[in-house]
Amino acid sequence: MKKYGLIGYPLTHSFSKKYFSDKFNREGKKDCRYDLYEIPTIQDLPEIISSQDGLIGLNVTIPYKEQVIPFLDNLDPACKAIGAVNCIKLTKKGLIGYNTDYYGFKTSLTNWIGKEKPQALVLGTGGASKAVCQALKDLEISYLKVSRKPDASTKKVTSYEEILASPSLLQEYPLIINSTPLGTFPNTSAMPDLPVEHLTANNWYYDLVYNPTETAMMKAAAKMGAKTKNGIEMLHLQAEAAWDIWNK
């Protein structure tokens, strides 16, 4: 039996098991299985690796996309630049880390906005944010990261407080990308602390959250005329990229 799976904590919001189980059924892959490994600490990873015979690959989700790196034997060169891992391949030479979030987001964003290059606000500074920022950089789209605790040493990070005080930033940076889990099931009423009333039809709001398919923030942005998109396409693209990595 070829085994694949997902590590993270918690995993109540994950679509990965259903996605890959459906894929295996659809493509007649009766020798493949996908499991969820909900581990309360990244220190539990070696036990998962040693106890699962036939394990070929793992997806990595919150909060381990950065914490997992010291447990890996090598990183894909592109992954080194990002500084976060969401895909692991088990090989005879050890564990190799990749980032398919980068590919999924970059492709999905390009499909949505075409050749336009609006300046972007990236909400969050975690592992998903790192992949988003690298994709924006490679697309030559300038961006500003938004954090609850901005780093005073860099001009690339601002705070929600500053945006609330200067809402014109929402028009200076019309593309807004939520790379945080805010709004994810079951906490579906949670929203980024933004002055929503200042959004207009000139704004794009891309939410990496995919459960629910329309977050509270997406609904609020749409009411102001903004264009919205969720993370479903990105999820599918990164999942297929992971599958290709595991089986190449």
Query: Active-site positions?
Result: 65
d(CA 179, CA 122): 7
Pairing of strands 87-91, 55-60: antiparallel
Six token digits for residue 140 = 């030559």
CA dihedral 189, 124, 100, 42 (to 10 degrees): -90
Residues 41, 139: Cα–Cα separation, whole Å: 35
- Say how far apart CA 216 and CA 219 lie, in whole Å: 5
Helices (H), the chain: 16-26, 45-51, 77-82, 100-113, 127-138, 160-165, 169-172, 216-223, 232-247
Peptide bond into 186 cis (omega under 30): yes
Per DSSP bridges, beta strands 94-98 and 74-75 are parallel
Burial of 175 (C-beta count, 10 Å sphere; 0-12/13-18/19+): buried
- Give dist(CA 172, CA 154) in Å, integer: 19
